[in-house]
Amino acid sequence: MDEMLSVRQLMKTYGKGCPACLDLTGPDHGRNMCPVCGTIVACADVSLDVYPGEVLGIVGESGSGKSTLVKTLYFDEEPTAGEFYLRSYEDGVPNLYDLSSRKKRWVRNHQMGMVYQNPHLGLRLDHSAGGNIAEKLLMAGNYHVGSIRERAVQLLEKTDIPITRMDDLPRYFSGGMQQRVQISKAMANNPPLLLLDEVTTGLDVSVQANVLDLIREIQRELGVSMIVVSHDFSVIRMLTNRTIVMKNGRIVEQGLTDQIMEDPQHAYTQLLINSLL
């Protein structure tokens, strides 16, 4: 397996489903709710590859299915159907969705990091910053307080959080700092894959820049493969080489990021590009 990860025919629906669901939803119909049975087709027919050290962008407006997609990759959501292979797990042979939930958790803790738009989802705000990092390390079987704290110091230094704040609660941190603690936590076990879901949305511009620079630095220094989900083309342009465009739960276009921006093919992508400020 050359790819770091491979996803095939991923589908996630909410509802009982009917034979018409897939035919009557998607960008051609401009909806993701099946008009027959009311099932929401959050994403369908999604196949993608990410190569080692590569950063893949996923753009699309709210409701396009991009967040559902990454949450399904992080096992936050159970897919309705589909395959998911990770090179770093048993040479990419087993479909990860067929694993027991304990093995899925192992893959998630050892091989992936996730940074959510909302720090409440990625952090326990009533645990200290260090405790949040400790949680990931404990999951991976490190039961030595001294070495946990050593690693936490490394990570917090890297993400520019003052070490004096290590034992404070992230509840009282600024939004940008919370995102940086989330990144520290996600990187705690040096995972080969990092998933970033709208990580700069809602932050002040200068803080956004700071978080993006940090992500770029991590990518450059550690060669981590990343999937970056954003509705913001400037984030995508800055971080990615390749981009996937989603609408109504389907991939409508994929290509080199500069090509997507300068020569968009699909009507929806053209609309997105023309809407840039």
Partner 1 sequence: MSAYNYAFLDENTKKEIRRKTLKAIAIPGYQVPFGSREMPIARGWGTGGLQVTLSVIGKQDILKVIDQGNDDSVNACNLRDLISSTSEVATTTDTLEATIIQTRHRIPEEKMQAHQILVFQVPMPEVLRTVEPSEQETRRMHGERDYSRLWVQLYEDIVQHGEIRISYDYPVLVNGHYICDPSPIPRFDVPKLHQAETLFLFGAGREKRIYAIPPHTDVVPLQFEDYPFTVESYDQGCEKCGCTTSYLEESFDRVDGARHYYCSDTSFCGKKQVEQGELVQMGANWHG
Partner 2 sequence: MPLLNIEQLNKSFHLHQFGGKQIVGCSGINLTLDHGEFIGITGKSGAGKSTILKCIYRTYIPTSGSMYYESDSYGTIDLARAGEREMIEIRQKEIGYVSQFLKLLPRVTAQDAVIQELVATGCPKERAEGEARSMLRHFGLAESLWDTYPNTFSGGEKLRLNLAAAMVKRPKFLLLDEPTASLDNGSKEAVRDMILDLKRQGTSMMGIFHDLEFMEKVVDQEFSMQSGSITGGRTA
Residues engaged in binding partner 2 (CB under 8 A): 51, 209, 213, 216, 220, 238, 241-242, 254-256, 258-259, 262-263, 265-267, 270-271, 274
Separation of first and last alpha carbons in the chain:
41
Which position among 16, 29, 105, 220 is part of the footprint of partner 1 (CB under 8 A)?
105
* Cβ proximity to partner 1, 101 vs 206, nearer residue: 101
127 binds, among partner 2, partner 1, none (CB under 5 to 8 A by kind): partner 1
107 binds, among partner 1, partner 2, none (CB under 5 to 8 A by kind): none
Q: Are 13 and 39 in contact (CB under 8 A)?
A: yes
Q: Is 164 in the site for partner 1 (CB under 8 A)?
A: no
Strand partners, 83: 8
Q: How far apart are CA 130 and CA 118, in angstroms?
A: 19
Q: Are 188 and 156 in contact (CB under 8 A)?
A: no
* Cβ proximity to partner 2, 182 vs 254, nearer residue: 254
Q: Which stretch binds partner 1 (CB under 8 A): 4-12, 37-45, 70-78, 101-109?
A: 101-109
Q: Which stretch binds partner 1 (CB under 8 A): 63-71, 81-89, 140-148, 187-195?
A: 140-148
Q: Are 257 and 236 in contact (CB under 8 A)?
A: yes
Q: Is 205 in the site for partner 1 (CB under 8 A)?
A: no
259 binds, among partner 1, partner 2, none (CB under 5 to 8 A by kind): partner 2
Which residues are CB-contacts of 275 (< 8 A; sequence separation ≥ 6)? Answer: none
> Length of the chain in residues, anyone?
277
Which residues are CB-contacts of 197 (< 8 A; sequence separation ≥ 6)? Answer: 67, 70, 71, 114, 115, 116, 117, 229
Q: Is 102 in the site for partner 1 (CB under 8 A)?
A: yes
